Amino acid sequence: MVSVINTVDTSHEDMIHDAQMDYYGTRLATCSSDRSVKVFDVRNGGQVLVADLRGHEGPVWQVAWAHPMFGNILASCSYDRKVIIWKEENGTWEKAHEHSGHDSSVNSVCWAPHDYGLILACGSSDGAISLLTYTGLGQWEVKKINNAHTIGCNAVSWAPAVIPGSLIDQPSGQKPNYIKKFASGGCDNLIKLWKEEEDGQWKEEQKLEAHSDWVRDVAWAPSIGLPASTIASCSQDGRVFIWTCDDASGNTWSPKLLHKFNDVVWHVSWSITANILAVSGGDNKVTLWKESVDGQWVCISDVNKGQGSVSTSVTEGQQNEQ
């Protein structure tokens, strides 16, 4: 049974662009064209406004929660070309850092796996991707990839951390050498995979071509213990592709068309155990997809915007076994 268990009245004065649950599902962050970022406590079906964060000078496009081991940290990006990192200290939220290294709207922010430390990737309409790394004592180091995508970058998504070889406990706390990778999607219709080299510079490792129009979102699936890596991408061309790479070196990616929609597809997102992909599109619907027995992707549910005032919970059609 799928039912609405809570409706949070955010009181945003303008369009909401993003809403994100924290790690535990206890807090909700929202951002809006009204330039604010709000944080709500939603435990036990309640809704308590915890913070109303002002600092952006334009519509705020996305918010992202960092891993709780770093404390309560939230990143937001906006049309005002800025990325702001907010932190909760002694019960109050305040601006911890502001990054203004972009020449136009910053469209997407994504925190790296916590194993790498506190690193934020930001994609902007100026075509560049910047990576902010927290180095301690309130300092953030910036690395910028210029011209990552011509015309603009719309989305960034990190690959899950892969523990290289055997991990031996180092008492002095020396960090193991992770191979850091992330994916980005842009207005050049491409998806690019980036890898951090030994010298700390980021290099373009792969170009994934299949879309015929702007790539609007990319989402790297969480690792479920299989050797394959999976990325979902969606585009202005109405298509959603599932990219898989089977070999360990990560060199050959093959796309599978999930579906061709009749309208722009804006957003793709994986559930935490990576078994359901949610696709939100221009046709007012959110569809949920699962991979079935023989490797085909099947739509299991439609979440649709209601026309009336009554919400009817409909028994959800679940995975078909064959």
The rounded distance, in Å, linking the Cα atoms of 61 and 233 is: 19
Residue 301, interface with other proteins (CB under 8 A)?
Answer: yes
Tokens standing for 298?
């099947």
Nearer to other proteins, 169 or 199 (CB): 169
Query: What is the smallest separation between the CB atom of 59 and other proteins, expressed in angstroms?
Result: 6
Total number of residues binding other proteins (CB under 8 A)? Answer: 111
- Binding-site member from 56, 107, 144, 198 for other proteins (CB under 8 A): 107
Residue 126, interface with other proteins (CB under 8 A)?
Answer: no
Residue 267, interface with other proteins (CB under 8 A)?
Answer: yes
The interface mask with other proteins, positions 181-220, x = CB under 8 A, is -----------------------------------x----
- Binding-site member from 46, 68, 164, 176 for other proteins (CB under 8 A): 68
CB 179 within 8 A of CB 202: no
CB 186 within 8 A of CB 154: yes
Query: What is the smallest separation between the CB atom of 204 and other proteins, expressed in angstroms?
Result: 25
Residue 172, interface with other proteins (CB under 8 A)?
Answer: yes
Residue 162, interface with other proteins (CB under 8 A)?
Answer: no
Tokens standing for 286?
């959110």
Cα angle 192, 246, 166; round to 5 = 95
Which position has the token pair 């991707």? 129
HSE value, Cβ hemisphere, 13 Å, CA-based, for 261: 25
CB atoms within 10 A of CB 280: 17
Helix/strand/coil for 186: strand
> Phi/psi at 245 (nearest 5 deg)?
-130, 120
Nearer to other proteins, 88 or 205 (CB): 88
Nearer to other proteins, 1 or 177 (CB): 1
Query: What is the smallest separation between the CB atom of 240 and other proteins, expressed in angstroms?
Result: 11
Which position has the token pair 């990006």? 77
Residue 100, interface with other proteins (CB under 8 A)?
Answer: no
Residue 233, interface with other proteins (CB under 8 A)?
Answer: no
- Binding-site member from 138, 139, 168, 171 for other proteins (CB under 8 A): 171
The rounded distance, in Å, linking the Cα atoms of 53 and 177 is: 36
Which range touches other proteins (CB under 8 A), out of 126-134, 141-149, 185-193, 266-274? 266-274
Which 8-state DSSP code applies to residue 43? Answer: G
- Binding-site member from 146, 166, 262, 318 for other proteins (CB under 8 A): 318
The rounded distance, in Å, linking the Cα atoms of 66 and 91 is: 17
Helix/strand/coil for 44: helix
Nearer to other proteins, 97 or 256 (CB): 256
Query: What is the smallest separation between the CB atom of 67 and other proteins, expressed in angstroms?
Result: 8
Query: What is the smallest separation between the CB atom of 298 and other proteins, expressed in angstroms?
Result: 5
Residue 138, interface with other proteins (CB under 8 A)?
Answer: no
Nearer to other proteins, 26 or 252 (CB): 26
Q: Which residues of 110-140 are buried (b: 16+ CB within 10 A; e: fewer)?
A: bbbbeeeebbbbbbbbbbbbbbbbbeeeeeb
